Amino acid sequence: MIERLRSTFRSNIDPDIRRYRVRATPTDGKVDYILLAACLLVGIAFSRLIAAEVDDRFTFDLVSIIVLGLVFGFALWLVNRGDVGLAGYLVAFPLIAFSAYGIVISPNNLYVFSAGFLLAIMTVGTIVGGTSVYPFSIIAFLTLTFGWLRARSTSTVLGGALDNPSGAFFLSTQAIVYFGMAIMLHTLSQLIRNTTEKLHSQTEQLTNMAHSDPLTNLANRRHLLDQLELEFNRARRYRRPLSLVYLDLDGFKAINDRFGHLMGDEILRGVSIAMLAVLRSGDLLARIGGDEFSVLLPETNLESARRVTNKLHKAITAYSQNLGSMIPPVSFCAGVGQLRIDDESVDDLLARADEAQYRAKDAGKGQIRTQHELDQLPLFMTRSNPNETR
């Protein structure tokens, strides 16, 4: 039950908005204290001016400020833990409670204590945000109305200031102020949320543009290198296999020259879709040049990577057969490399895959070569049978 209540008051908000409210909380607390101190001074002066005999409420005001200070300190601790919403409510409720209690024990100071309700609405709107301001506005107005009715029936000090016309005017203006502030804070909260969502959307779009190829929607060279660096470090740390395939379409320039770049672009998109269909979700296919592609294969040894490359070749061949007899068959030459024990950086793996690809191109169209044809140094193998079918 306690955890459910806690989760109810904890606002599930965007991390950026949460950081904004975390920064706003200390500022809101300082403003509250300045205004409370001002109300204390104004209240004392107001009481002495309008009454021959005045109840000394200095002690109550001082105790209220001290208690609110302790509450605010605890609220800051909650904010540092991430419970921003709970902290906002924790500060706002005492402001409502002390203002209501002050009106009860000192009806003559109704107009002074009404400012506390305004502070509560401002606090919950700044720290919690959203629609939380409306319940506090309603509670504040109802409490103020009850306080005015009680003050009117028990106090003779204010005289005409508590008659029906004056009371109606006072309550009406307070309602406008309370609910007007609530609407303003809610609107500001929505504006901040919408602006943050737009910024997130734009950031995501820019990230996708920076990491993807606009023609095929595959990863680009930059994203490939970023992911390769991550997988390289992980494979070295846990001594797991990692393979990389470089492939280059055969005779693609001739297709562009004969049929135009629009047809060439369509073939590149089709080839990309065909290759993606035979890869795992954890594999990364990237377009790194005009007709050059690369495939990052985590948890894959050299022999398994070669089998994957054969699958890619079959997929492209099947796609090519659907293009019609006018289009020359599409194939590729590929070089396959695997992480080696003595590799110091990703450049070592990249260089071997690139060299293996050049060996494949020298051998003719549709050829596949691996780094085994470059050297026979030890490789990180899987803990299971390295010849196991992928």
Cα–Cα distance, 340 to 242 (Å, whole number) = 9
- Fill in the DSSP letter of residue 330: P
Q: Is residue 389 predicted with pLDDT exceeding 80?
A: no
Cα–Cα distance, 187 to 274 (Å, whole number) = 49
Q: Is residue 136 predicted with pLDDT exceeding 80?
A: yes
Q: What pTM was estimated for this model as a whole?
A: 0.58
For 45-101, the pLDDT digits (tens) are: 665 665 544 445 566 666 777 777 777 778 777 777 777 778 788 888 888 888 888
In CATH, the number for domain 221-373 is 3.30.70.270
pLDDT of 377 reads: 47
Q: Is 110 exposed, middle or buried (0-12, 13-18, 19+ CB in 10 A)?
A: buried
For 71-82, the pLDDT digits (tens) are: 777 877 777 777
Q: Residue 173's closest CA among 219, 250, 251, 114? A: 114
Give the count of alpha carbons within 13 A of 47, CB side only. 18
CATH 3.30.70.270 residue ranges of the chain are: 221-373
Beta bridge partners of 369: 335
Cα–Cα distance, 48 to 56 (Å, whole number) = 10
For residues 148-184, one letter each, b for 16 or more C-beta atoms within 10 angstroms of the residue's C-beta and e for the rest, the string is beebbeebebbeebbeeeebeebbeebbebbbebbee
Cα–Cα distance, 283 to 301 (Å, whole number) = 13
